[in-house]
Structure 1
Amino acid sequence: MRVAIFASGNGTNFEIFADLFEKKELQGELALLFCDHPDAYVVGRAKKHHVTFETFTVKESGGKKKYEEKIAKLLKSYKIDFIILAGYLRVIGASILDNYEGRIVNLHPAYLPEYPGLHSIERAFEDHKKQTGVTVHYIDSGLDSGPIIAQKRIPIFEDDTVESLEARIHACEHQLYPQVVKSILNELTEKGE
């Protein structure tokens, strides 16, 4: 099972997964990091873990369609079987989805279908909600609308700030996401897929 992680920024979830693959606590091989921001901090994390990485932007690819086609070719060349989205802030296009149906997972910092898209934590906080959450789901052609795999509720306290809420959400993500991915990879490996 050859796994690719897609990320766009800091890469804290990437780091957790890289550690788990190194310790052989996850089935398969972390074969690739793809990043759409060449200067993102996650690229340095990939270097530290000796994970092969590729990075290019939509603009340098000549537009979204060519960008997606370039990613699809990249995944084929690395013989990728499964994709983990870890803070990848772009919608996955059809040229990738068609080849990886049921094999792309995403982590979202809200209790979907609440607050799909960007700035979910801030939006829940600003709406004075009593709770928000974390969701792990499969990717489909919609915006954070794919089948839900696992969710956890997180309370929003009266004395919370956006930063304190975000810290609790990230702590939950760092536990839930690896557990879910481990279970999926184990199941796929047992099936021989």
Structure 2
Amino acid sequence: MNLGVLVSGRGSNLQAIIDAIEAGKLKDRIALVISDREGVQAIDRCVKHGIPHRVIKRRSFDSKEEFEKKLVEAMKGSGVDLVVLAGFMRVLSPIFLKEFPMKVINIHPSLIPAFQGMHAQRQALQYGARISGCTVHFVTEELDNGPVIAQACVPVLPEDTEESLSERILRHEHRILPQVIRWISEGRVRVEGRKVVVEGARYGTLPFNPELEDF
């Protein structure tokens, strides 16, 4: 598949995809990376690895509609098959989503539907959760509420800070996001209502922690 990746910051999940491609674990290619901010590390990663990239800023447009239409134009112009939100800090509207029906996935640092929206790790700590984690899900019009494809769990330790919990979760994000891309690329994912079925997926002994094949 041709992947289109939307980013807003350092791009560590983008790097995980790049590493999986370069290691031969993903047969897909990154056709385009778009950042809505200038000067972010994600763009530096694109330059280093020779990946096509653009900066499209929201404030360059009079409306969100015009901004998203530009995103769609860029993605379709690059032949993108699957859109991956990898730390993209904007909520996409139906204007964008209708152009890529069930072809947009997101990585979120909680076990959704718990702790949706911003600062999910902080929410988990404030709530007193004992387990948190990350989720890869299809993107729908409702924020952080699309069908779940894969989740990974991490313990919330008594001494955790937002930073330490975020870092522990991030290590799992880097594992499950490339795996989900591979499942989709291999045509193994189907959606039945809210339930996502992955043909032939193996699961480890911990709840919701996929055994990541050769990842």
User: What TM-score results when the alignment is normalised by the length of structure 2?
Assistant: 0.83
Asked if the contact 1:33–1:53 (Cα under 8 Å) also holds between the matched residues in 2, the reply is yes
Unaligned residue ranges in structure 1 (runs of 5+): 189-193
Shift of 1:101: 1.1
Q: Distance in 1 between matches of 2:43 and 2:125?
A: 31
Q: Does 2:135 align with 1:116?
A: no
Unaligned residue ranges in structure 2 (runs of 5+): 189-215
Letter matched to residue 165 of structure 1: L
Q: Which residue of 1 aligns with 2:211?
A: none
Deviation digits for residues 29-80 of structure 1 (CA, Å, limit 9, x no counterpart): 2110011001211111110010000112111122211100111111121111
Deviation digits for residues 67-100 of structure 1 (CA, Å, limit 9, x no counterpart): 0011111112111111111101111122221121
User: Counterparts of 1:174-193 in structure 2 under 5 Å?
Assistant: 174-187=174-187
Q: Which residue of 2 aligns with 1:55?
A: 55
Q: Distance in 1 between matches of 2:98 and 2:163?
A: 37
Q: Which range moves more in the overlay, 104-113 or 54-63?
A: 54-63
> How many percent of aligned residue pairs carry the same amino acid?
30
Higher helix content, 1 or 2 = 1
Q: Does 2:113 align with 1:89?
A: no
Q: Which residue of 1 aligns with 2:38?
A: 38
Count of aligned positions = 188
Q: CA RMSD in A?
A: 1.3
Q: Which range moves more in the overlay, 23-32 or 79-88?
A: 23-32
Q: Distance in 1 between matches of 2:29 and 2:171?
A: 25
Q: Distance in 2 between matches of 1:118 and 1:171?
A: 19
Shift of 1:22: 2.7
Letter matched to residue 113 of structure 1: P
Q: Distance in 2 between matches of 1:177 and 1:28?
A: 13
User: What TM-score results when the alignment is normalised by the length of structure 1?
Assistant: 0.93
Q: Which residue of 1 aligns with 2:161?
A: 161
